Amino acid sequence: MAKKARRGRPPGSKNKKTNGKPAAKLAKNFASMEVPQLRAYIDELEKTFAAKVQQQREILEGQLAGLQGYVSQKAAGVVRAVMQVPKTGRRAKAKPKYQSKKTKGLKWSGRGMLPTWMKAEMKGTKLTKEDFLIK
């Protein structure tokens, strides 16, 4: 049986300690620090923050580069589809394939339902649809 996924914070993330000292003690140390010491500490934090931001930026730029390849591939497909000749939505008039044996003016293209004149001519005879083909 598979283990259930844990919800919430990962183990050990609560009550996080900094440099082995609890956060409350760290705050007391700030109160007792001199201004030059605080300035040096702030500068060190800014350098650390800038390094973390740069690291995140590199990760995100790598992901973005991967996505740009995917997007450009999809965009090329869309451009090809748009550049094709647009369809008007109308079919050309179909040429007749079948003609009546009795009345030569009655013709059918083979699209849609079987015409009534063909049904009537086929009824009671051995004629099939293929017998009405125009040669």
How confident is the chain (135 residues) per 10-residue block, as mean pLDDT? 64 59 66 88 93 94 86 81 73 90 92 93 91 90
Looking at residue 132, its amino acid is F
DSSP states of 1-17: -PPPPP-SSPTT-TT--
Instruction: Output the pTM of the full model.
Output: 0.36
Torsion-angle region of 133 (φ positive above 0: left; ψ -120 to 50: alpha; else: beta): beta
In the block, residue with structure tokens 């007391």 = 28
C-alpha distance from residue 99 to each of 28, 66, 92, 105, 112 (Å): 103, 62, 20, 8, 15
